[in-house]
Amino acid sequence: MPDLKLPSEKIQRLLLEIVEHFDGEDRAVHERQIRKCRRLKLYWDNIFQAWYSEVAHDWRIWDNSISEDTADQAYYDKPVNTFRAYTETIIAALSVTTPSAKCYPEDADSSLDTVTAKAGDKISLLINRHNNVNLLWLKSLYTYYTEGTVFFYSYPRSDEKYGTYEEVQREEELIDKDMIKCPVCGQMTEVDETQDIFQPEEQPQDNCPNCGNLVTMEQTTQSFSTTKIVGKTKHPKSRVCLEAYGGLYVKIANYAKTAEQTPYLIHSQEVHYASAMEEYEHLLGNPKLLNQLKSQGVGPMDTYAQWGRLNTLYMGEYPNYVVTNRKAWLRPCSYNILGDQEDVKELKKLYPRGVKVCLVNDEFGSAEPQLLDDYWSISVNPLEDYLTHDPAGIPLVAPQEITNDTISLVLQTMEHGVGQTFADPGVLNFKSYRDTETIPGGVYEATPKSGKGLSEAFYQVKTATLSSEVLPFFELIQSLAQLVSGALPSLFGGQLDGSNTASEYSMSQAQARQRIQNTYKLFTSVWKEVQGKAIPMFINNMKADEKDVQRLPDGSFINIFIRMSELEGKIGKIDLDAADNLPLTWSQIKDTIMKMFELQNPLFLEMLTAPENIPVLRDAIGLNDFYIPGEDDRSKQNDEIRQLLESEAIQDPETGQFEPSVDIDPLYDKHNIQFEIIRQWATSEAGRLTKIENEAGYQNVLLHGQKHYFEMNKQLILQQGADESKGKDNPEKPKGSKEISGEEDVPVTS
């Protein structure tokens, strides 16, 4: 259980008063927001037969047993969830990739800042992996369309499941040492343990190492302070956790246009009573909480807000034995609502930057100094005037309801389209007709009444027919739904108006993606803010070196280290390694690559055929089982690099030359490919780091690469060697002379 330090009862009372004041602020407005969000949650989960009760103040799920007169209507309610279909289409287009962070040094000329900025890039990737940010990105988009404003919560958490680190415990200790002192200069020198100790009258004279005088050194004792290790303790490692919430869980000031303008932020969430007691052990057995649970079976005091957050499986019901865990972040300006200046000064002295107050229902849980802006990032929609706004899915509500009504009307019309016929029992014998098998072209007895024709004894009721305007109207509604949401057919592969050529479809898709680009810019903006808080938070809570294992495109694995020594500099700013435009989809990447091949540009062909890009090409084309020439050679060389790093080069005792611990295969190795792999590794970040930390292994790899280089250029090297030997045997004649018959060279005269 966490060790929580509770403030005095007076401070608890003051903080509770502030939280209750802001929690009750704009109550009617907040309840309207809850109703809108709850309605969209029901629509998302295919619950459309709901109506709002002014008595119960919530959306009531339709029950067929309410009235026998209306029970038949449920037979025709067969809604098609276009609301979720269009929303998922947009979310899919916006979540192709999650942008990664790029850190910049505070001073580009500072090597410490540059190293720390590079470490920040690795920390960003580690945070993303710990939090599975691809799913978090989806969650935040879903929240934006069903709850409106998105609130990102970044916080550190320590747990042994994240690993442990050792902390060395040291203790100061005083020790006495024998010293000798020069009586002239006063220089103190430690006595050598091998030096003989003489009695004062027997002490010989010696030259002082400091002043050089021949003196009799004085013996003395001096105390020194030293540090010794007394033990080691294990502590859990910390991780930076990221969460996303919407308006059902977070309440801020509705009049705030920026995050700085809201004096508070209140996060509420239902948890089981047992979980709350695990976090706040001093509330275990609290009589007020227990009485609430026993009398009501439900803990939260604000049942309206809890109803909005309930799982849609609770159709008008409430869960038992849950309490509301409220966490409120208050700015120092919020203390002013107390009115008493002494109370305000006392709170500002205790919590000068702000305070986080935790409540279980109305019972005080804990309080600690925290600044709201250090932990929360709020999405800012530039197309809205205030931070809080309606969910982006609101425009799809009306088309969904019209779609439901149209489908119900069409089904009823089709079922009742066959009219009823009435007949005179005096003309048609119903009993005999029922007992007779109906056959095509059958002849049946019928006696018309005197003076009347047979047709006058039968009457057929005319039924309603489906209007010819219904289907065009239905198509118009779907078109309007696509217009208001931005989920145009080209986003989900629907039918286009026109010739449907490839170029026309590509143009339509580009226009559709341009429409939803505003939302993508909104999320990249807030995501940059989230990363800007998470990375420094990770650095501040990092107590030991971190290691992350990553998979390279060639299938091999590599250890990425984040060392404490790399965090001595400062990070200036954090940006996203992403363009302002939407990321390309798989089909767009494929089309781009095929067009690059068609251009036959030498530069493009060199890029596409680079060994590093071959796995990307295979994934883009979609041929996962497609064999890539040289892939086995790359895998073999990567395995050999790992073996070489674990050993050292072998020295030949006869020649004194060094040979790699793993030899090459001159006949079967593809030397050009394997040498290129070693060259890339040596210039990569992993190779540069290995050169510092494992120089022997690094040199072992280079020797292995040199042997590949020799085999790759064997003929050329041998030819150069032969030319040099030939030049030594036949030195070049001086210019201006020529060899003639005889024993002398005769200079050539002009």
CA dihedral 303, 306, 312, 316 (to 10 degrees): 0
Backbone φ, ψ for residue 421 (5° rounding): -120, 135
Q: Where are the beta strands (DSSP E) in 370-468?
A: 376-378, 421-423, 458-460
Confidence grade of residue 730 (pLDDT, cut at 50, 70, 90) = low
Please tell me the least confidently modeled range out of 79-93, 290-304, 463-477, 615-629: 290-304
Would you list the domain boundaries of the chain? 9-65+75-79+253-392, 164-193+202-236, 586-727
Residue 373 has pLDDT above 60, yes or no: yes
Higher pLDDT, 612 or 680: 680
208-259 pLDDT per residue, tens: 777 777 777 777 777 777 777 777 788 888 899 999 999 999 999 999 999 9
Tokens of 428: 């048609």
Please tell me which of 276-290, 428-442, 594-608, 727-741 the model is most confident about, judged by mean pLDDT.
276-290
Return the pLDDT at 244. 95
List of residues 6+ apart from 322 with CB closer than 8 A:
270, 271, 272, 273, 298, 299, 300, 306
Judging by beta carbons within 10 Å of its beta carbon (0-12, 13-18, 19+), is residue 161 exposed, middle or buried? Answer: exposed
Report residue 10 as tokens: 């007076």
Residue 506 banded pLDDT, cuts 50, 70, 90: low
| Tokens 């040492």, located at residue | 177
Q: Which residues, in sequence order, are CB contacts of 538 under 8 Å at separation 6+?
A: 123, 126, 127, 156, 238, 240
What pLDDT score was predicted for residue 742?
39
Q: Closest by alpha carbon to 278, among 198, 177, 360?
A: 360
pLDDT at residue 109 tops 90: no
Cα(673)–Cα(650) distance, rounded to whole angstroms? 25
- The pTM for the full model equals 0.74
- The more confidently predicted of residues 718 and 540 is 540
Predicted confidence band of residue 192 (pLDDT cuts 50, 70, 90): low
Percent of the chain with pLDDT over 90: 25
Measured between its terminal Cα atoms, the distance across the chain in Å is 105
- Asked which of 77-81, 96-100, 510-514, 639-643 is least confident by mean pLDDT, the reply is 510-514
Question: In angstroms, rounded to a whole number, what is the distance separating the alpha carbons of residues 188 and 554?
Answer: 65
* Tens digit of each residue's pLDDT (9 = 90 or more) over 531-577: 999 999 999 988 888 888 877 665 667 778 888 888 888 998 888 87
319, pLDDT greater than 60? yes
Identify the weakest region by mean pLDDT among 172-181, 422-431, 625-634, 723-732: 723-732
Q: Which residue has the higher pLDDT, 609 or 545?
A: 545
Of 72 and 149, which is predicted with more confidence? Answer: 149
Mean pLDDT for the stretch of residues 583-592: 66
How confident is the model at residue 577, as a pLDDT?
73
Mean pLDDT for 620-642 is 74
Q: Which residues of 380-402 are buried (b: 16+ CB within 10 A; e: fewer)?
A: bbeeeebbbbbbbbbbbeebbeb
Span 77-106, average pLDDT: 87
Instruction: Indicate if the pLDDT at residue 731 is higher than 60.
Output: no
Decide: helix, strand or coil at residue 103.
strand
Q: Please, are residues 98 and 137 in contact by the beta-carbon 8 Å criterion?
A: yes
449-499 per-position pLDDT tens digit: 777 877 777 777 667 677 788 888 888 998 898 888 888 776 665 555 655
Query: Mean pLDDT throughout 190-206?
Result: 56
Supply the pLDDT for residue 37: 92
| Residues 335-358: tens digit of each pLDDT | 999 988 999 999 999 999 999 999
Which pLDDT value is given to residue 539? 92
* Count of Cβ atoms closer than 10 Å to residue 372 Cβ: 23
- What is the pLDDT of the chain when averaged over all its residues? 80
> Under a CB-based contact definition with an 8 Å cutoff, are residues 359 and 19 in contact?
yes
